[in-house]
Amino acid sequence: MQTPDKMTALEKRATVSLALIFALRMFGMFSILPVLALYARDLPGGGSPFLIGVALGIDGLAQAILQIPFGLLSDRIGRKPVIYMGFTLFAVGSFVAAGGHDIYIIILGRLIQGTGAVASAIIALTADLTREEHRAKGMAVIGLSIGATFAVSMVAGPTLGHLIGVPGIFALTGILAIAAMLVVRFVVPKPIVSRVHADAETIPGQISSILRNTELQRLNFGIFTLHAAMRGLFVVIPLVLVEVGGLPSAEHWKIYLPVMLISFFAVIPAIIVAEKYGKMKPVFCGAVALMTLGTLLMAVFIGNLTGVVITLFMFFLAFNLLEATLPSLISKIAPAGSKGTAIGVYNSFQFLGLFLGGAFGGFLAQHVSRSAVFVFASGLGLAWLLLALSMTPPPQVRTRMIHIPGEVDEKRAKRLSAALSAIDGVAEAMVMTGESVAYLKVRMGEWDEAGANKLLQS
């Protein structure tokens, strides 16, 4: 029996299987990061840190360009066909990189990998397969799967590099992409109907207003900075662990395991303080400051293994906390009915950060010094910190979606939006005609949920 407070079996199956698809894709993308710089430097042309940085970041450029168009294409031809196409491109790129005997072929393979930009289509499929009241749970499970996969990949990458080599990791990535397509075919349910979901998808007509929102611009610059710093880090850190620490690549897991494990769990109290006690801005600014300080100290202690490990922990402590709080801030700040577009723009800035962080980090490492990579990252971090300190404290609201029975024309949508906005505890309301859904920003514990439901059922 379908109950409003529990996910149905189909919703659970959809959520778990789609989270698995994300994990299969991300494992291949992430596990190559800690080993590619070491492998590539011995290839023809790979002695150039700039080309290594391009190889590390080029997938981000393709994803930045294609992730929104692929999401829009999935509205026209269906979610699963776009996902199949994306994973096929991703697998082809993986096998091209696996067979590459010079840095240029690896760059080509990584570029093709990035053209398989299926994230937006998978998120849209998640929205198709979950009811409004459970969609946030589905997205949270997917988010957790990505975070956990990143941590596991950082530890597993060096070991896999030792056991099967970097070409083997690329080949494994292609095999995992094929496995993901089989999950899509045989496990992921087929949606009865696909439609545009304003909470999960980019709506082209909203992009301009989202780009003009100065509070969201701060967050877009932030995710760009965070991922530029992270990708630049992997141009340098693997080489430092070998040359300064004397650690062969196969033993790098001894560094990454405690760093990732401790930082992953250490952020939980801070997240609770931020969300439960309304301290989002100070916690957020503190994390940005920690990232800025950590990258600056990396430049100072680059010749000392102990210093590198401590600053690496500082960085990933901040990284994990910011990765958890930034989407929450987007949800709180984005106008009701525009969350999907805000996230789409935000993700594009994230992917641009991956590309420019890798490419410019490699350029600095080659033409200035390795320390310059971290000085640049800390400079971006300082600019972000100034923007974060001046931002308006985010409202203590949560997004709620309520299905509206019957047809909703423009006249009824305007009337319901105005009536919902007047309900106690509702900070903002927007009714979408195409979806027959009301998007509300509500102050939890204060809003009249029963009154809102009664109004929408009338």
Q: Could you report the per-residue pLDDT of 80-99, keeping only the tens digit for each? A: 999 999 999 999 999 999 99
Confidence of residue 1 (pLDDT cuts 50, 70, 90): very low
For residues 105-117, give the mean pLDDT: 96
Residue 424: strand, helix, or coil:
coil
**pLDDT value of residue 240:** 96
- Would the pLDDT of 430 be above 60? yes
The answer to whether the beta carbons of residues 245 and 370 sit under 8 Å apart is no
- Residue written as tokens 């023809």? 44
Specify burial of residue 24 (Cβ count, 10 A radius: 0-12, 13-18, 19+). buried
For residues 267-280, give the mean pLDDT: 91
**pLDDT value of residue 397:** 85
Rounded to whole angstroms, how far apart are CA atoms 83 and 118? 6
Tokens of 151: 């941590």
For residues 135-161, give the mean pLDDT: 92
What is the number of H-type helices and E-type strands within the chain?
Answer: 16, 3
Rounded to whole angstroms, how far apart are CA atoms 132 and 399? 11
Phi, psi (degrees; rounded to nearest 5) at 403: -75, 140
Rounded to whole angstroms, how far apart are CA atoms 210 and 203? 10
Tokens of 271: 């997240």
- Would the pLDDT of 5 be above 70? no
For residues 233-237, give the mean pLDDT: 96
Confidence of residue 319 (pLDDT cuts 50, 70, 90): very high
Residue 334: strand, helix, or coil:
coil
Q: DSSP of 128-171, one letter per residue?
A: HHS-GGGHHHHHHHHHHHHHHHHHHHHHHHHHHHHHHHHHHHHH
For residue 59, which amino acid is it? D
For residues 429-439, give the mean pLDDT: 82
Rounded to whole angstroms, how far apart are CA atoms 44 and 102? 5
Per-residue pLDDT tens digits for 248-265: 999 999 999 999 999 989
The CATH class of 7-198 is mainly alpha
**pLDDT value of residue 184:** 96
C-alpha torsion sign, points 395, 456, 337, 140? positive
CATH: 1.20.1250.20, 2.60.98.20, 3.90.226.10, 3.40.109.10. Which one for 202-395? 1.20.1250.20
Give the predicted TM-score (pTM) of the model.
0.93
As a whole number of Å, the end-to-end CA separation of the chain is: 25
Intrachain domains 202-395 and 398-457 with the same fold: no
Residue % of the chain over a pLDDT of 90: 73
Rounded to whole angstroms, how far apart are CA atoms 220 and 211? 9
Diameter over CA atoms, the chain: 71
**pLDDT value of residue 4:** 56
**pLDDT value of residue 34:** 96
Rounded to whole angstroms, how far apart are CA atoms 145 and 126? 14
Confidence of residue 303 (pLDDT cuts 50, 70, 90): very high
Rounded to whole angstroms, how far apart are CA atoms 279 and 394? 9
- What are the boundaries of each domain within the chain? 7-198, 202-395, 398-457
- More reliable by pLDDT, 44 or 308: 308
- Would the pLDDT of 442 be above 80? yes
> How is domain 398-457 classified at the architecture level of CATH?
2-Layer Sandwich (3.30)
For residues 317-334, give the mean pLDDT: 93
The answer to whether the beta carbons of residues 66 and 344 sit under 8 Å apart is no
